[in-house]
Amino acid sequence: MVARTLFVLVALAGITRADTRGTLRFGVVPLELRSSSDTPLFGDRVDRVVSEYNAAAAAYDRMHGGMTARIDAADLGVTETLLVLSPGLEIGSGAYFFRLEAPLGFADDLKSYGLGVYPLNLQIAPRRSFVLYASAGGTASWLDRPGSGDVGGLLALRAAVGCRFASHLVLEIGYSAFAIGGTINNERLASMMDGDTTQLAQPQEVLSAGEARGLVDASLGVTF
């Protein structure tokens, strides 16, 4: 018990002495998630939406006339360019620091609200006002499309390299080794399954999901 108490006190003392920096980065994330029947977590739903949408399109054409284009799994991917604002906190001293962020992403048809945790961060300072660093961790975000009924999320394993210069400026390049996510609207899916032919929803309004490897992003920010 005494040993455990001493360990906690030493850890708290280390955190107290560590440098703490607030950060604010503004960046662009090209989100290209490709959908298929093999997409983890979403594959079965992708197949269901393709089948139900094509059946609904055929019924709609019979009722109203027309030649609605049919879809396949590749039509249900996510293609958005997110503008991301990432307030964060860095705690550490010497070569190592811990990093926590809350990225907020905005696009025409998509919003994201997330948490980024980077436990592995190393930095060197070849000059007093110039610091190079590398980070590794991941992010988990809630995805939302306009309107009600959508449920979605995005998970990504991300590494980054960057520099802090001129005392308070930050430039960072990120690399998402793997990302998976999307949104689904169960109400619209249920409506298609019920054979509702009064209105045919766009397939991406029912489900839009996929996975990607090697996504690159860039950001510029400040520390304080």
Q: Compute the distance between CA of residue 18 and CA of residue 32 in angstroms, rounded to an integer.
A: 38
Q: Is 6 helix (H, G, I), strand (E, B) or coil?
A: helix
Neighbours of 189 (CB within 10 A): 20
Are the CB atoms for 84 and 172 separated by under 8 Å? no
- Does residue 48 sit within a domain? yes
Query: What is the count of structural domains for the chain?
Result: 1
- Does residue 6 sit within a domain? no
pTM of the full structure = 0.86
Q: Is 193 helix (H, G, I), strand (E, B) or coil?
A: helix
pLDDT at 191: 84
First to last CA, the chain: 39
- Does residue 204 sit within a domain? yes
Q: Which residue, 118, 28, 37, 34, is CA-closest to 81?
A: 28
pLDDT at 5: 45
pLDDT at 17: 55
- Does residue 15 sit within a domain? no
Q: Which two tokens stand for residue 110?
A: 């998509």
- Does residue 13 sit within a domain? no
- Does residue 167 sit within a domain? yes
pLDDT at 15: 45
Are the CB atoms for 185 and 49 separated by under 8 Å? no
- Does residue 5 sit within a domain? no
Domain range spanning residue 103? Answer: 20-223
pLDDT at 22: 97
Q: Tell me what the pLDDT averaged over the chain comes to.
A: 90
Residue ranges of the chain with per-residue pLDDT less than 70:
1-17, 196-198
Greatest alpha-carbon pair distance for the chain in Å reads 80
- Does residue 51 sit within a domain? yes
Are the CB atoms for 203 and 76 separated by under 8 Å? yes
pLDDT at 21: 93
Strand blocks (E) in the chain: 19-33, 78-93, 96-101, 104-106, 111-127, 130-144, 150-165, 169-185, 207-212, 215-223
CATH classification at residue 178: 2.40.160
